[in-house]
Amino acid sequence: MMEPTQSQLAGEVTSQAITSPEVQHPSAIPAPAPAARPERRKKPRIRQTPPEPVPPPHLDDYKGIVGEASIDELRFLANGLKGKTVKMVNSTAVGGGVAEMLNQMVPLLNEVEVKTHWEVITGGNDFFEVTKAFHNALQGSDYQLTQQARDIFLMHNQINSQRIQFNEDFVVIHDPQPAALIHSRDDSRRWVWRCHIDLSNPSREVWEFLAPFIERYDAAIFSSQSFTRQLAIPQYLFYPCIDPLSEKNKELEDSFIQKVCDEFGIDRSRPIVTQVSRFDRAKDPVGVIEAFKQARKYVDCQLVLAGGGATDDPEGAAVLKEVLEAAGDDPDIIILDLPPWCALEINALQRASTLIVQKSIREGFGLTVTEALWKGKPTIAGAVGGIPNQIIHKLTGALVHSVDGCAYQIRYLLTHPDFARQLGHNGREHVKENFLMTTNVRRWLLLLRILAGQSK
């Protein structure tokens, strides 16, 4: 990776700097009067039905992206595991990042002949209400753990442990919902707990209830150093990953990107600043609008806020309303409430963008940041959750802590396109090395070899 120069590094975040004159790039001319801007399409055209599903990729399809040697390495590592079997267990087959990742990873492990089977636990509404509350409490929300909640949790884990056979060499349990299945363990098999959530600040009661289950596993895996807890078992760091061949991340024809922008009323001749996120206060969409409005006083740009899920989440609907109010009738703020099947459109929006913002104030790993960096986009993001694992400030993107900082970085990067391009380039390399599906498969193969005692 190339280092930025000293003068590039001089673009420090200060609220003072935002009022000082900057070198202007031709594409970052001062904002024209609103009357001169093209009218925003009142109602963007959004695809109303899901597209046809696409078949999953094969390992060889990744050679063009990560190189032949990396794929050969995966096959070599898998050789030591031939005939071994793995069971992955989670709590949902669709929706959410874990299911998406398992959908992509399980076929690849099978392709290298590590026979991997994915099982989903069942449970009634009472169970999922309890596990949702646990999920939130483990990430810091207030919660009163009752005996009834403990009983419901244990009863459904018990029902699932009678329903599911555990004859595989390795069992991988994802997240807290099925954690008590460890009761079914026999000592000839290795059990791993893969935790996808941030446990740095859990409800003490819920954690004390769960920890004795977790400590019976052979190992635990976390998504970031900052998400872990002190445990009596070995811990491993597995970053989440994206699939570069998925609809969300694959290369797109420019004509398709243009079509999507036309349908959404986005003007590609002017800079585009985009945040893709559920309408959730933790993603601070209103803060993004404020930052955009500050920056636009100095540099011409449009803002795209693309999100989803607001229709079936009452809180999402309330946040979307706040966002629409904050945007007012500004023709340069384009708000898109997208259905869940718009992966290709999100890909196109990210690729059409000049800058990508993820101004979260609380975050998990932040896969939208990974997606943006993979597309080589200069990315500005809140320094929370797993985002600092991905954005090394002024090397692979810009980290911000406030609306003013975000506004400054929008203005700075739009007026320093060479530096912005370098950040985007470095960001893509960082993702290629650390956060792609192929790296994830490699980590799994290494861990399984360690657990099988075959790594010597």
Rank residues 291 and 346 by Cβ distance to ligand UDP and give the closer one: 346
Q: Does 244 bind ligand UDP (CB under 6 A)?
A: no
Q: Which of 178, 307, 316, 397 binds ligand UDP (CB under 6 A)?
A: 307
Could you tell me which stretch among 183-191, 200-208, 362-370, 426-434 binds ligand UDP (CB under 6 A)?
A: 362-370
- CA 15 to mean position of chain CA atoms: 29
One-letter-per-residue 3-state SS of the chain? CCCCCHHHHCCCCCCCHHHCCCCCCHHHCCCCCHHHCCCCCCCCCCCCCCCCCCCCCCHHHHHHHHCHHHHHHHHHHHHCCCCCEEEEEECCCCCCHHHHHHHHHHHHHHHCCCEEEEEECCCCHHHHHHHHHHHHHHCCCCCCCCHHHHHHHHHHHHHHHHHCCCCCCEEEEECCCCHHHHHHCCCCCEEEEECCCCCCCCCHHHHHHHHHHHCCCCEEEECCHHHCCCCCCCEEECCCCECCCCCCCCCCCHHHHHHHHHHHCCCCCCCEEEEECCCCHHHCHHHHHHHHHHHHCCCCCEEEEEEECCCCCHHHHHHHHHHHHHHCCCCCEEEEEECCCCHHHHHHHHHHCCEEEECCCCCCCCHHHHHHHHCCCCEEEECCCCHHHHCCECCCEEEECCHHHHHHHHHHHHHCHHHHHHHHHHHHHHHHHHCEHHHHHHHHHHHHHHHCCCCC
Residue 397 makes contact with ligand UDP by CB under 6 A: no
304: contact with ligand UDP by CB under 6 A:
no
Among 11, 308, 316, 405, interactor with ligand UDP by CB under 6 A: 308
Nearer to ligand UDP, 97 or 234 (CB): 97
Question: Nearer Cβ to ligand UDP, position 112 or 431?
Answer: 431
Within 330-349, which residues bind ligand UDP (CB under 6 A)?
338, 346
Residue closer to ligand UDP by CB (options 287, 366) is 366
User: Closer CB to ligand UDP, residue 178 or residue 386?
Assistant: 386
Q: What is the closest distance, in whole angstroms, from the C-beta atom of residue 224 to ligand UDP in the complex? A: 12
Region of 139-147, 367-375, 413-421, 443-451 interacting with ligand UDP (CB under 6 A): 367-375
- Which of the residues 85 through 144 are near ligand UDP (CB under 6 A)? 97
Looking at 56-64, 117-125, 204-212, 303-311, which segment touches ligand UDP (CB under 6 A)? 303-311
For position 366 contacting ligand UDP by CB under 6 A, the verdict is: yes
Could you tell me which stretch among 33-41, 126-134, 270-278, 387-395 binds ligand UDP (CB under 6 A)?
Answer: 270-278
Tell me whether residue 367 or residue 447 sits nearer to ligand UDP (CB atom): 367
Output the six-digit token pair for 73.
Answer: 């390495």
Q: Provide, rounded to whole angstroms, the least separation between the CB of residue 310 and ligand UDP.
A: 9
Contact window for ligand UDP (CB under 6 A) among 121-129, 140-148, 253-261, 361-369: 361-369
Per-residue tokens: 128: 């999922």
Find the shortest distance in angstroms from Cβ 142 to ligand UDP. Answer: 20
- Which is closer to ligand UDP, CB of 168 or CB of 263? 263
User: Among 172-180, 184-192, 273-281, 422-430, which window interacts with ligand UDP (CB under 6 A)?
Assistant: 273-281
Q: Which of 217, 365, 412, 444 is close enough to bind ligand UDP by CB under 6 A?
A: 365
Residue 98: which residues within 8 A CB-CB, separation 6 or more?
90, 92, 174, 175, 196
368 binds ligand UDP (CB under 6 A): yes
What is the residue whose two structure tokens read 């925003």? 40
What mask of x and - would describe binding to ligand UDP in positions 42 to 81, judged by CB under 6 A?
----------------------------------------
Three-state SS across 197-235?
Answer: CCCCCCCHHHHHHHHHHHCCCCEEEECCHHHCCCCCCCE
- Determine which residue in the list 277, 353, 390, 440 makes contact with ligand UDP, applying CB under 6 A: 277
Beta carbon nearer to ligand UDP, 45 or 204: 45
Q: Write the burial class of residue 114 (CB in 10 Å: 0-12 exposed, 13-18 middle, 19+ buried).
A: buried
Q: Which stretch binds ligand UDP (CB under 6 A): 137-145, 290-298, 360-368, 375-383?
A: 360-368
The number of residues that bind ligand UDP (CB under 6 A) is 16
Identity of the amino acid at 253: E
Q: Which residues bind ligand UDP (CB under 6 A)?
A: 97, 248, 276-278, 306-308, 338, 346, 364-368, 371
